[in-house]
Amino acid sequence: MKPNQWIHTTVDTGLFLQLQDLTTILSGQPDFTFDFSYGSFIDSRKKIMTGSHFWDTSNEQDKISGYKTDLFLRAIGTLKYTAVKDMQVYFRQTDPSGLYKFSRQLVTLLEDMRLEEIIKRERPGTKKDFARRRNFLYHYFETQLAATVTRSLALDELFCLIYLTLNANQPDPSFPQASQAQLDRLEVLKPYLYTAFEASNTSNVIRLAEEITVQLEACYKDMLKDYFTFPIHHMEELTTDTLFDDLTRTDELANDDQEAVDKKNQESIDETFSTWHRESKNKDRKQTMLQMELETGTKTRMLGGATRETEDGDQAMGAIQGTSGKTGKNDYSDLETLEKKEKIHDSQKQRMHKNADNQHAVAVFKYPEAPTAADQAAYKEAAQTIETYKRKLTAVIEKTLEHKRNESNENLVMGRLSKKMLSLIIDDNPRVFYKKRDQSKELDAAFTLLIDCSASMHQKMEETKRSIILFHEVLTRLKVPHAIVGFWEDANDVTDNYQPNYFHVIRSHSDSFHQPESAKIMQLEPKEDNRDGFSIRLATKTLAARREKNKFLLVFSDGEPAAAGYNQNGIVDTNVAVSAARKKGVHVIGTFLADGDIDEREDEMMKNIYGKDRLMIPSISDLPDYFAPLLKRLLLRTF
Q: How far is CA 412 from CA 143, 177, 406, in A?
A: 73, 82, 17
Mean model confidence pLDDT for the chain: 80
Task: Give 447's DSSP letter.
Answer: E
Cα within 13 Å of Cα(416), Cβ side: 9
Assess whether pLDDT exceeds 60 at residue 61: yes
pLDDT higher for 302 or 363? 363
- How far is Cα 535 from Cα 577, in angstroms, rounded to an integer? 9
Q: From CA 219, how far away is CA 344, in angstroms rounded?
A: 69
Task: Of 143-157, 273-287, 402-416, give the lowest mean pLDDT range.
Answer: 273-287
276 CB contacts (<8 Å, ≥6 apart)?
Answer: 282, 287, 289, 317, 318
Q: How far apart are CA 506 and CA 448, in angstroms?
A: 11
Inform me whether the pLDDT recorded for 540 exceeds 70: yes
Confidence category of residue 347, pLDDT binned at 50, 70, 90? very low
Specify the 3-state DSSP secondary structure of 513: coil
Cβ neighbours around 460 below 10 Å, total: 19
Q: In whole angstroms, how large is the CA radius of gyration of the chain?
A: 35
Residue 544: C-alpha distances to residues 538, 581, 583, 584 (Å): 10, 8, 10, 7
What is the model's pLDDT at position 259?
A: 55
Q: How confident is the model at residue 67 (pLDDT cuts 50, 70, 90)?
A: very high
CB 487 within 8 A of CB 348: no
Residue 553, helix vs strand vs coil: strand
Tally of CB atoms within 10 A around 485:
22
- The tens digit of pLDDT for each residue in 403-447 reads 666 555 666 767 777 777 767 767 777 777 766 655 455 678 899
Cβ neighbour number for residue 264 with a 10 Å cutoff: 5
Concatenating the DSSP letter of every residue in 565-577 gives TTTTTHHHHHHHH
Q: Give the CA distances from residue 602 to residues 187, 486, 578, in Å, rounded to whole numbers and listed in that order.
A: 51, 22, 18
pLDDT bucket at 3, cuts 50 / 70 / 90: very low
Q: What angle do CA 572, 573, 574 make, to 5 degrees?
A: 90
Calpha distance 562→287 (Å, rounded): 62
Backbone phi, then psi, for 611, in 5-degree steps?
Answer: 70, -140
What's the pLDDT band for 127 if we cut at 50, 70, 90? very high
Q: What is the pTM of this model?
A: 0.63
Is 73 in contact with 116 (CB distance < 8 Å)? yes
209: pLDDT strictly greater than 60: yes
Least confident of 71-80, 348-357, 593-602: 348-357
Strand partners, 501: 363, 489
Contact 600, 577 (CB under 8 A): no
Distances in whole angstroms, Cα of residue 396 to Cα of each of 263, 406, 444, 476, 478: 94, 16, 17, 15, 11
Distance CA 554, CA 514 (A): 21
**Cβ-Cβ contacts under 8 Å for 401 (sequence gap 6 or more):** 443, 478, 639
Is 415 within 8 Å of 435 (Cβ atoms)?
Answer: yes
Query: Hey, what's the torsion of the CAs at 605, 610, 613, 619, to 10 degrees?
Result: -40
Give the range among 109-118, 285-294, 572-581 with minimum mean pLDDT.
285-294
pLDDT score of 345 more than 70: no
Q: Which amino acid is at 9?
A: T
Q: Is the pLDDT of residue 204 over 70?
A: yes
- Mean pLDDT along residues 216-237: 89
84 in Cβ contact with 273 (< 8 Å) = no
pLDDT of residue 322: 45
Domain with CATH 3.40.50.410 in the chain: 373-399+442-636
Residue 218 above 60 pLDDT? Answer: yes
DSSP 8-class letter at 263: T
- At the topology level, CATH places domain 373-399+442-636 in Rossmann fold (3.40.50)
Q: Please enumerate in sequence order all residues whose Cβ is within 8 A of that of 402, keeping only pairs 6 or more positions apart, or say none.
A: none
For residue 284, how far is the Cα from the chain centroid? 55
- Tell me the pLDDT band of 109, cut-offs 50, 70 and 90: very high
What average pLDDT score do residues 542-561 get?
A: 89
What is the mean predicted confidence (pLDDT) over 485-510?
A: 91
Q: Is 33 exposed, middle or buried (0-12, 13-18, 19+ CB in 10 A)?
A: middle
Q: Which of 278-292, 422-436, 554-568 has the highest mean pLDDT?
A: 554-568
What whole-number distance in Å separates Cα of residue 192 and Cα of residue 211? 8
Give the rounded percent of residues in the chain with a pLDDT score beyond 90: 37
Q: Average pLDDT of 112-137?
A: 94
pLDDT reported for residue 457:
86
What's the mean pLDDT in 124-152? 93
pLDDT of residue 562: 83
Q: Which pLDDT score, from 0 to 100, does residue 594 have? A: 78
Which tops the pLDDT comparison, 629 or 402?
629
pLDDT of residue 516: 63
Q: pLDDT-based confidence at 346, cuts 50/70/90?
A: very low
Q: Considering only 143-157, 342-356, 421-435, 508-522, which range has the smallest mean pLDDT?
A: 342-356
Under 8 Å between Cβ of 293 and 306: yes
